[in-house]
Chains A and B, each alone.
Chain A
């Protein structure tokens, strides 16, 4: 069977499964719609959280990022997993005990202020919209690449699928489809990784392959990789990062940003008990780690495979001839994500770092006229993995379904965070306090449909901020939501003035730093400093790493302002007391 038919069958089968689940798991109350009736088993919620969390970026892009960055790519690995420790120890059990539905609801109630609620709603919507556009693009790209459908059609199909299960089932439908999506994406990620690890290191477990030896030479894989890429002028794979300080702050920002992402936090509202929220965070990280500990092996091995494909006998030998390129190379060239140009007309592709001085001498000696692998998109690393390993068509089809599952599951979680903050926080808590349960459920479904339409529109016309997920979404979550939640739980003294001014100050400095390097509201040409030139960064701190400084500013401002103004009223202090003890969580759910 040809690849396209196979891909249609596999992707079609997974879509039918998602729709089947949607029909089975319809929501009949606001509690179902916002929190899956608080009846989700902690292990099941862990799995759903893993799918919710692992986006198109985790599935498709992360291994490629690590492949090109080497050691320092670990900031993504530690940052996007370490946040779960903060979530489990500092936020999830308490927010579950609070027993309501949304993140702005906690911030608004705890800081007894509609202003605080509004700031939280605006942050949530900015974060989630930025994030969801990337998922929509991922869906469109996956369709166009694997199913030969135009990008727009892919987007419409993806939107329709999400529409069916998110509008019908709300959190309940989303939870059970996410569980199915997790199974699809983890299988799709693991199978090629196992085969590639087996080929290169003789060890089928990729985590052990990463620290294992190269099968041919018996030297450690990473040492072999170092030599292979240093021979063509690139830095060592395990070499030092340009700045350890920037790597540290970047990692911290991703960690506290992860812990402050509303679409992840609300997943912990779905479990029956406070103790379940603690277990569930652990299970979520188990399921996330199954992908995240494999990703660095995939990255290193893909980098090695690509380099040795072009230099089959090392740099001492000849580069591969154009007419001998493997099939996968040609397949990806047609997508435009991979390009080569035979600059010296010798029919071979010399791939090297033409900015390295040492390589310039070698290039003159051997008659090379610049690097001829002119484009190699990092996303190819995961998507082409099964082809590089020579795996059968059904594995390639499964990777397509896995990429779609990763993008759709995260999109659905984000859309729920957006729609519940509109129907519950904006309408029910602020504008229409007398709305009935049935009215609110209808409003939730309508705002879900609206959110899908907005996400689809931005997917078709990506605005400037769409590419800034790491800087904008993680920066905002780190500098505003995480500190507000943590102080709301761990301090009885932080009052509404402190919380509001703290959030505004945290967001303010973070956005100022990001905009200064990336343009005012990301409009091209309005940046004060060039973004990609580290010598302009204050102390070498990149805009993406700045969120943790914003968080620090938030903490300090909130503390200082609260200490010079009146303490929160008695009932708020009682509220804090009550969320600190697990007993009585069942009672608090009756809303």
Chain B
């Protein structure tokens, strides 16, 4: 792999990871902890959104994030022709 394509591959990787980690931080530290007082009026069943995010919801989001990462990263590997043949 030449240098230019290598740099583009790494940049694409960093972009993807940055977006996913921003969502990761927003649902857990944001909605689950710091923003909870502001979300008190939104209910998920019998609890407030912040409580649900902290005790259950963020875990589902974490799961989705890892699988999205696996699918997209494997795609980026193929696009830059660095996947495992």
Contacts and interface: CB of A to CB of B under 8 A. Distances in A.
A and B interact physically: yes
A252 B29 contact: yes
B84 A585 contact: yes
Contact of A220 (B32, B33, B47, B66): B47
Given A71-B51, A90-B17, A222-B46, A82 B56 contact: no
Interface string B1-17: 10000100110010001
Interface in A129-176: none
Nearest to B67: A282
B70 A251 contact: no
A251 B48 CA distance: 20
A220 B58 CA distance: 21
Given A77-B55, A210-B56, A583-B84, A251 B33 contact: yes
A256 interface: no
B54 A220 contact: no
A88 B69 contact: yes
Contacts of A584: 84
A238 B29 contact: no
A85 B21 contact: yes
Given A85-B20, A583-B84, A282 B63 contact: yes
Contact of B66 (A74, A85, A207, A222): A85
Interface in A199-233: 207-208, 210-213, 219-223
Interface string A550-591: 000000000000000000000000000100111111100000
B45 A292 contact: no
A248 B77 CA distance: 35
A306 interface: no
A575 to B, nearest CB: 14
A90 B13 CA distance: 10
Contacts, number: 140
Interface in A36-92: 66, 71, 73-74, 77-78, 81-82, 84-85, 88-90
A78 B28 contact: yes
Contacts of A274: 84
A210 B62 contact: no
A502 to B, nearest CB: 21
A289 interface: yes
Contact of B54 (A74, A85, A208, A223): A74
A183 B55 CA distance: 24
Contacts of B60: 289, 293
A223 B17 contact: no
A376 interface: no
Nearest to B72: A278
A286 interface: yes
A285 interface: yes
Given A89-B17, A90-B17, A81 B55 contact: no
Contacts of A393: none
Contacts of B82: 581-583
Interface residues of A, number: 53
Contact of B28 (A82, A90, A213, A281): A82
Interface in A260-304: 273-275, 278-279, 281-282, 285-286, 289, 292-293, 296
Contact of A247 (B33, B46, B47): B33
Contacts of A220: 45-47
B46 A248 contact: no
Contacts of B13: 580
Interface string B57-78: 0111011011101100110010
A581 B59 contact: no
B70 A88 contact: yes
A279 B34 CA distance: 31
Contacts of B67: 282
B48 A238 contact: yes
A84 B9 CA distance: 23
B44 interface: yes
A9 B77 CA distance: 51
B41 interface: no
Contacts of A586: 84
Contacts of A244: 33-34, 36
A90 B20 CA distance: 11
A90 B73 CA distance: 12
A238 B44 CA distance: 13
B13 to A, nearest CB: 8
A282 B68 CA distance: 9
Nearest to A288: B59
B16 to A, nearest CB: 8
Contacts of A278: 66, 69-70, 73-74
Given A88-B66, A251-B33, A282-B69, 16 more contacts: A74-B54, A82-B24, A82-B28, A82-B58, A84-B62, A85-B20, A85-B24, A89-B66, A90-B17, A211-B46, A220-B45, A238-B47, A282-B70, A289-B62, A583-B84, A584-B84
15 contacts: A81-B59, A89-B65, A207-B56, A210-B56, A222-B47, A244-B34, A248-B29, A248-B34, A278-B73, A278-B74, A281-B66, A289-B63, A293-B60, A581-B9, A583-B1
Interface of B: 1, 6, 9-10, 13, 17, 20-21, 24, 28-29, 32-34, 36-37, 44-48, 51-52, 54-56, 58-60, 62-63, 65-67, 69-70, 73-74, 77, 82-85
Interface of A: 66, 71, 73-74, 77-78, 81-82, 84-85, 88-90, 93, 207-208, 210-213, 219-223, 238, 240, 244, 247-248, 251-252, 273-275, 278-279, 281-282, 285-286, 289, 292-293, 296, 577, 580-586
